[in-house]
C-alpha cells in the first residue's frame, strides 16, 4: 500500500478540479465561437473528469454544481461553472 500525505492528496484533487474547470472553459469558448465539433470533443473530456471527481469530497456548493453540470450546457453556465471550479482549485 502506498502512503500519501494530506497535502499530496489535496494537490491531486486540486489538479483534477482545475482540469475540469479548463475543459468546461474550452467547451464554453468553442460554443461561443460556433464550433460544435470541438465543444463536443471537450464535453467528452468533462464527462471523463466527472468520473474522477466522484471520489473527491466536495463542499456542498460544489456538489450542487457538479450535479447540475449535465443539465445546464449553455455556454454562459459552463463558463460560470469553470470560474467557480477554478477559484476552488486555486485555494
For helices 36-53 and 6-33, the axis angle rounded to 10 degrees is 160
- Tell me if 1 is assigned to some domain: no
55 falls within a domain: yes
Contact (CB, 8 A) for 16 and 53 = yes
Which domain range does residue 54 map to? 7-89
Whether residue 38 lies inside any domain: the answer is yes
Whether the per-residue pLDDT at 76 is higher than 70: the answer is yes
* Number of domain units in the chain: 1
What is the reported pLDDT for 14? 87
Alpha-carbon dihedral sign for residues 47, 53, 61, 14 = negative
| Nearest-angstrom CA–CA distance, 61 and 78 | 15
In a domain, 33, yes or no: yes
Indicate the pLDDT class of residue 22, thresholds 50, 70 and 90. Answer: very high
Mean pLDDT taken over the chain: 84
Q: How many CB atoms lie within 10 A of CB 24?
A: 26
pLDDT exceeds cutoff 80 at 62: yes
Does residue 27 fall inside a structural domain?
Answer: yes
CA distance 63 to 78: 15
> Quick one: what percent of the chain has pLDDT higher than 90?
49
The model carries a pTM of: 0.81
What's the confidence (pLDDT) of residue 11?
Answer: 54
Q: Does the residue 2 lie in any domain?
A: no
Amino acid at each position: 500500500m502506498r502512503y500519501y500525505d494530506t497535502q499530496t492528496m489535496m494537490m491531486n484533487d486540486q489538479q483534477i478540479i482545475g482540469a475540469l474547470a479548463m475543459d468546461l472553459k474550452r467547451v464554453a469558448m468553442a460554443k461561443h465561437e460556433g464550433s460544435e465539433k470541438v465543444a463536443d470533443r471537450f464535453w467528452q473530456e468533462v464527462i471523463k473528469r466527472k468520473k474522477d471527481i466522484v471520489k473527491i469530497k466536495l463542499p456542498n456548493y460544489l456538489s450542487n454544481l457538479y450535479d447540475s453540470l449535465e443539465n445546464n450546457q449553455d455556454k454562459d453556465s459552463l463558463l460560470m461553472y469553470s470560474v467557480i471550479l477554478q477559484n476552488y482549485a486555486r485555494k
